[in-house]
Amino acid sequence: MADGKFAAEVACMQCLLDDRTVVRAHRIYEGDETDRYRCEKGYVFGLDWRSPATEPQWPPPADLLDGLKA
Ligand SMILES: [Zn+2]
């Protein structure tokens, strides 16, 4: 497992970077270090969890949302 229960859902990085919107993504594959996710808009992306998350990744942390407004 890469990151276990804390990372079953994350904010989609693709939507975040391309559209500056926060879209929920569900894990579709759990690898040794990299998990794959598919978001509700259909994007698929991988996240590298060499530093395991220590808290749930959804809902997204406030600093991430604040970054969008900047
Ligand atoms: Zn997305």
Cα of 48 vs centre of ligand 1, distance in Å, is 17
Contact 60, 22 (CB under 8 A): yes
Distances from the Cα of 27 to the Cα of 7, 34, 57, 66, angstroms: 8, 11, 12, 24
Q: What would the pLDDT profile of 16-62 be if each residue is shown by its tens digit?
A: 989 999 999 999 999 988 999 999 999 999 999 888 788 888 998 78
Cα of 54 vs centre of ligand 1, distance in Å, is 23
- At 1 the pLDDT is 52
Cα of 14 vs centre of ligand 1, distance in Å, is 5
Cα of 32 vs centre of ligand 1, distance in Å, is 23
- At 49 the pLDDT is 86
